């Protein structure tokens, strides 16, 4: 039986957590409701949880312009998928090397990893390198490689997971049996590191899905418009109310553009895939972030 103090503490903690959950949930509910609000009513009265007039005009307009919005959605899926897979692969390989204390030069590699968390070359230098050395402007690589492919924080998480959750004796036994380093990594380390890989995959995937900075820097409206992701399209709408109307061409030139509610409807469309995937990765995320954050 719980004491009165325990019950009182449980009620208080549950109430606080419920309020925090509600605070996180209410903006999303308002976003969905606003996307189904009539454009004229929203402009006259603002967004409300209980709009006076409902409408699907914003979603109808998106469907009528699906050639552009759908391409942005497809670009986002493609960039997120390739970028997340590449990030997990590179991060896991680098972390596997750092987790081996007997590797020659591992201290130097650790220093370089930590150094990149504290200092960078600056945005101007990075832009020059990516644009003039690697020539990624107006290509898919501009949305995948800069800034997001790998970061030191994820590497450290994975390295700590390897050192605390995968027994060294297991790896030694595999080496005694004649397994190569690549074979050990592929057949033993990766299968045992699903929680941490799911964790960094979720964080990296969210970063790619929500990214618009790379497109802003490295894509031009004249050559790179066909590579715009859904976040870039939403950002363009925020900057210019008439973006979708101007970009949709003459086929829908006579249709009034639902600017205010279109922002909300595209935002809802951008969030749905994350809401679908997250519940399946939540248990791995909690375990991976807890174990991977343990200090050596």
Same domain, 169 and 239: yes
Any domain includes 286: yes
Same domain, 147 and 191: yes
Residue 174: which domain range?
A: 60-292
CB 231 within 8 Å of CB 211: yes
Closest CA to 58 of 272, 265, 241: 265
Strand, coil or helix: 54: strand
What's the whole-number average pLDDT of the chain? 81
For position 228, which CATH number holds? 1.10.3720.10
Mean pLDDT for 282-291 is 60
Element (H, E) at 56: none
Any domain includes 41: no
**Cα-based distances in Å from 128 to 119, 134, 197, 212, 292:** 17, 9, 32, 19, 35
The secondary structure of 117-165 as a DSSP string is HH----HHHHHHIIIIIS--TTSTHHHHSTTTS--HHHHHHHHHHHHHH
Report pLDDT digits (tens) over 31-51.
Answer: 888 888 888 888 788 888 888
Mean pLDDT for 211-240 is 79
- Counting the structural domains of the chain, the total is 2
Any domain includes 42: no
Same domain, 83 and 212: yes
Same domain, 114 and 72: yes
Interatomic CA distance for residues 134 and 100, integer angstroms? 32
Same domain, 137 and 175: yes
Any domain includes 55: no
Same domain, 138 and 93: yes
Interatomic CA distance for residues 147 and 149, integer angstroms? 6
Same domain, 285 and 181: yes
CB 152 within 8 Å of CB 114: yes
Report pLDDT digits (tens) over 73-110.
Answer: 889 989 999 999 999 999 999 999 998 888 888 899 88
Any domain includes 272: yes
Same domain, 68 and 172: yes
Same domain, 101 and 237: yes
Same domain, 233 and 138: yes
Higher pLDDT: 269 or 2? It is 269
Same domain, 91 and 154: yes
């Amino acid at each position: 039986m719980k004491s009165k103090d325990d019950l009182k503490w449980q009620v208080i903690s549950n109430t606080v957590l419920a309020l925090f959950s509600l605070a996180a949930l209410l903006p999303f509910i308002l976003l969905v409701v606003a996307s189904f609000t009539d454009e004229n009513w929203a402009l006259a009265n603002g967004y409300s949880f209980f709009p006076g007039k409902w409408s699907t005009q914003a979603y109808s307009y998106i469907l009528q312009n699906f050639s552009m919005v759908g391409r942005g959605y497809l670009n986002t899926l493609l960039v997120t998928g390739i970028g997340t897979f590449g990030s997990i692969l590179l991060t896991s390989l680098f972390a596997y090397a750092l987790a081996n204390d007997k590797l020659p030069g591992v201290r130097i590699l650790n220093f370089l990893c930590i150094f990149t968390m504290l200092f960078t070359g600056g945005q101007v230098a990075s832009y020059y390198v990516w644009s003039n050395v690697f020539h990624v402007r107006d290509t898919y690589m501009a949305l995948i490689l800069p800034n997001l492919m790998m970061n030191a924080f994820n590497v450290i998480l994975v390295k700590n997971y390897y050192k605390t959750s995968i027994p060294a004796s297991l790896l030694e036994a595999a080496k005694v049996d004649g397994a190569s380093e690549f074979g050990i990594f592929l057949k033993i380390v990766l299968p045992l590191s699903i929680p941490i890989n799911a964790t960094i995959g979720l964080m990296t995937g969210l970063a790619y899905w929500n990214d618009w900075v790379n497109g802003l820097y490295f894509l031009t409206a004249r050559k790179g418009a066909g590579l715009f992701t859904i976040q870039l399209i939403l950002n363009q709408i925020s900057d210019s109310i008439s973006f979708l109307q101007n970009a949709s061409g003459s086929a829908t030139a006579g249709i009034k553009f639902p600017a205010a509610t279109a922002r909300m409807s595209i935002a809802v469309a951008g969030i749905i895939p994350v809401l679908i995937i997250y519940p399946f990765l939540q248990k791995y995320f909690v375990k991976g972030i807890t174990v991977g954050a343990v200090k050596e």
